[in-house]
Amino acid sequence: MKVYISATLRGFFERNAVIEAPEGTIRDVLRFLTDEYPEAAKGLYDGDGKLRNFIKIYVGDEDRTEADKWYKPLNADDEILLLPAIAGGAPSDSIISDERRKEVAFDDKEIERFGKHLLLRDIGVKGQKRIKAAKVVVIGAGALGSPVIQYLAAAGVGTIKVVDFDEVSLENLQSQVIHTTRDINRPKVASAKDKVKNINRNIVFEAENTELTADNIVQVIEGYDVVIDCTDNYKARYLINDACALYGIPLVFGAIYQYEGQVGIFNLDGGPCYRCQFPAPPEPGLVPSCAEGGAISPLPGIIGSIQANEALKLIIGIGEHLDGKLLTIDSLYLHSKILKVNKNRKCPICGAEPSIFKVEDYDYEDFCGLKESENEIPVEGFTPEELAKRIENGDPMMIIDVREPHERAILRFPHAVVIPIGQLARRKNELNPDQDTIFICKQGKRSILAINTLREAGYTGPMYNLKGGIDAMKDIIFSHEGAWL
């Protein structure tokens, strides 16, 4: 039978996307996978030997994540999907009331502008008025936000609030098509506002150049009809979900990584929330983020367009949508599935006995069970300047690069030894315990995980991480090179 491995886990399976496994049960398949790929055990299981919370197991479109479902025999033609967080049914009514719809009117230019919508029987005048009456929050004006914002504006959504605290950089332009070269160093919300006004000046555009926190998120989303999550980090994703769940605002979720994407609708009319599907995010550094792993440039266009489409269907009140479902798309192998998302009765925010009653900021490492206790040795590190000085001085040390092969192809670190995280434990004898060892990655998170991995394996030599990773070292100039690393 075929086992499909999502891209975020393939580093533990020697980059294989599909693996043929012998017939049996899910437990048999998991045992086969970890026997064939020993590094996979670290990606799949936590320290107690339990399946990690951010991983789901599907057989076809049926969720078989719970361990009590692992003993059911599988058929030879069954397909298994290992789905990590990257982060249905038909609506009976529009989320826009008839009273609000009736308050909206069109002028002649709007009738001409939206003529193709007015010709669609399922939209027509009433549907287009609901679109104009709608108030939507888009959180994130990057890769996913680019198509979402532009298509909502083109469709005629009356009020669009965009929330982002970042500025446009050159590397953004490969996939964040709402921005242009002339926008570099400008706030992304300002760039997005200009683009929206060029599409439709009648739209009320609200720019929030701010970072979301527990203190401001309620003010940001309160009074809006739908929130669209276009963020690229787990902390924001859980913050947004919790606020939407507590205040009853439907959430259109989207996520991308390399060639894969996910889209779903959460918190709609008592339906499941994001925590029902993924109770906890991956440990920091365990799997690369989109920023670290990259994404092919059309992918956010595909996923963001679907997010915008789902939001418009909720606003109009038509069609079949992704409430209680998760659409997964693999653009590299043209593989897609719609998976059922079950409401989790044990969910801490929308379950039978909730324990979360207000939006709170959380410590990511504490949330993932990685908070250092008083008995743990803290991970020490060097700043880029400190490491550069040691390199300049010729200090004896070993530099270990734990990045993915495609990352090293873009930028190689001179004289570094390449050892992927999954191989560190068995290759610890290649390290010199009498010499400082510095671990490097893209942003300084996976290097911390590498150090903790070696500690667990019994290595006692001095280990340090490069703070901020190679990204933070790009502007360091070496006297003998005259250029940055």
Rounded (5°) CA angle 152-154-160: 40
Query: Confidence class of residue 371 from pLDDT cuts 50, 70 and 90?
Result: very low
**Together in a domain, 330 and 397:** no
Count of domains forming the chain:
3
**Together in a domain, 290 and 385:** no
Residue 15 pLDDT exceeds 80: no
CATH number reported for the structural domain that contains residue 189 in this entry: 3.40.50.720
**Helical pair 298-316 and 124-133, crossing angle rounded to 10 deg:** 110
Task: State the pairing for strand pair 381-382/463-466.
Answer: parallel
Residue 118: inside a domain: no
**Together in a domain, 216 and 262:** yes
**Together in a domain, 75 and 217:** no
Out of 84, 116, 148, a domain closes at: 84
CATH number reported for the structural domain that contains residue 394 in this entry: 3.40.250.10
Task: Report the phi/psi class of residue 38: left, alpha or beta, with left for phi > 0 and alpha for psi in -120 to 50.
Answer: alpha
Please list, in sequence order, all residues whose beta carbon lies within 8 angstroms of the beta carbon of residue 160, skipping any fewer than 6 positions away: 136, 138, 149, 152, 153, 196, 203, 204, 205, 206
Residue 388 half-sphere exposure, CB side, CA atoms within 13 Å? Answer: 19
Out of 314, 332, 367, a domain closes at: 367
Q: Average pLDDT over the chain, rounded to whole?
A: 86
Out of 319, 338, 367, a domain closes at: 367
Q: How many Å apart are CA 315 and CA 132, to the nearest integer? A: 10
By C-alpha distance, which of 54, 20, 456 is closest to 234? 54
Residue 331: inside a domain: yes
**Together in a domain, 50 and 163:** no
Query: Confidence class of residue 439 from pLDDT cuts 50, 70 and 90?
Result: very high
Residue 117: inside a domain: no
Q: Which of 21-25, 113-117, 366-370, 442-446 has the highest mean pLDDT?
A: 113-117
For 43-57, 189-203, 330-344, which range has the lowest pLDDT when averaged over its residues?
A: 43-57
Average pLDDT of the residues in 24-33: 89
Q: Which two tokens stand for residue 321?
A: 């949508």
* Domain assignment of residue 313, given as a range: 134-367
**Together in a domain, 139 and 77:** no
Residue 166: inside a domain: yes
CATH number reported for the structural domain that contains residue 19 in this entry: 3.10.20.30
**Together in a domain, 354 and 409:** no
Residue 300: inside a domain: yes
Give the model's pLDDT for residue 464: 94
**Together in a domain, 66 and 30:** yes
**Together in a domain, 303 and 388:** no
Tens digits of per-residue pLDDT, 305-362?
A: 999 999 999 999 998 899 989 999 999 989 899 988 888 888 988 888 888 888 887 6
Q: Which two tokens stand for residue 66?
A: 């719970």
Query: Confidence class of residue 288 from pLDDT cuts 50, 70 and 90?
Result: low
